[in-house]
Amino acid sequence: MSMAQMPVCSICSKRTAAMSSISQRGNNPGRLHLASRRGPQSRRHIRPVVMVNGMLSVGDKLQDFPDYYRVLQKSTGGGVALSSLEKKKPVVLFFYPKAGTPGCTKEACKFRDEYGKFVDAEAEVFGISSDTPDANAAFAQKERLPFPLLTDQSDFLRKSFGIKADLFGMLKGRQTFVIDKNGKCVMSFNDQMGAEKHVDEALQVVKTLV
């Protein structure tokens, strides 16, 4: 019997076909390309959130933001809206993550120590966080802060200004804005770790507005 006439084993035939199919799938560039695309996408989800300038940028006016008339409760009692601050004097708004924490205490106390210079420049200073009015009042009393702390309930203003968080979103952003007496943003400063730098930057700017 010649080799051409020998019967073909059905099991061997199926095994050969299967191996051929696997080889073809392994060399399919489309699948490999799809897998390579998934890698970078999955890594994007674990990158830390980097602080960048918020949606309130230099040159923007407060009246263009949806929370322009929102009333924020003051640690000294009563409330204040952004709309009431316009056309009076320059305003410093420093957003801090949490009352009583080390970085926020350093920042608030540095504003306290330099507060007289802000007064000389005819500027108002407000600290803003999502802490309750009572928590802010206790913080202000303990550290003898001469300026009001405002409660941004549910972070409405923080979100409106586009202030982003650090550490995978677990740490609220630390950002300071200086608004001139016409309601225009003239400074936006970000630095999570350099809490005291916010005071120096803000003071330098308000002195130019006198």
What is the 3-state secondary structure of 60-88? CEHHHCCCCCCEEEECCCCEEEHHHCCCC
Is it the case that residue 27 has pLDDT exceeding 50?
no
Give the pLDDT mean for 128-152: 97
Find, among 198, 44, 192, 20, the residue nearest to 126 by Cα: 198
Is it the case that residue 198 has pLDDT exceeding 90?
yes
Amino acid identity for residue 75 in this structure = S
Q: In what helix (H) or strand (E) does residue 151 lie, and over which residues does it extend?
A: strand 149-151
Quote the pLDDT of residue 92.
98
3-state secondary structure of 194: coil
Strands 91-95 and 79-81: unpaired
Is it the case that residue 206 has pLDDT exceeding 70?
yes
Quote the pLDDT of residue 63.
87
Q: For residue 175, which phi and psi values (nearest 5 degrees)?
A: -145, 140
Quote the pLDDT of residue 168.
77
Q: How far is CA 162 from CA 64, 75, 205, in A?
A: 14, 24, 22
Domain coordinates in residue numbering, the chain: 12-44, 62-209
* Integer Cα distance of 50 and 73 in angstroms: 30
Tell me the chain's radius of gyration from C-alpha atoms.
30
CATH architecture classification, 62-209: 3-Layer(aba) Sandwich (3.40)
Catalytic residues: 104
Quote the pLDDT of residue 197.
96
Residues of the chain above pLDDT 70, percent: 74
Which tokens go with 60? 């923007």
* Integer Cα distance of 32 and 121 in angstroms: 63
Is it the case that residue 158 has pLDDT exceeding 50?
yes
Quote the pLDDT of residue 166.
83
Distant-in-sequence, close-in-space partners of 25: CB < 8 Å, separation ≥ 6: 31
Is it the case that residue 195 has pLDDT exceeding 70?
yes
The per-residue pLDDT for range 32-87, each reduced to its tens digit, is 222 223 333 333 332 222 333 347 899 899 888 888 899 999 999 999 998 988 77
What residues are paired with 61 via a beta bridge?
184
Strands 91-95 and 124-129: parallel
Find, among 179, 173, 172, the residue nearest to 93 by Cα: 179
Amino acid identity for residue 54 in this structure = G
The per-residue pLDDT for range 85-131, each reduced to its tens digit, is 877 899 999 999 999 999 999 999 999 999 999 999 999 999 999 99
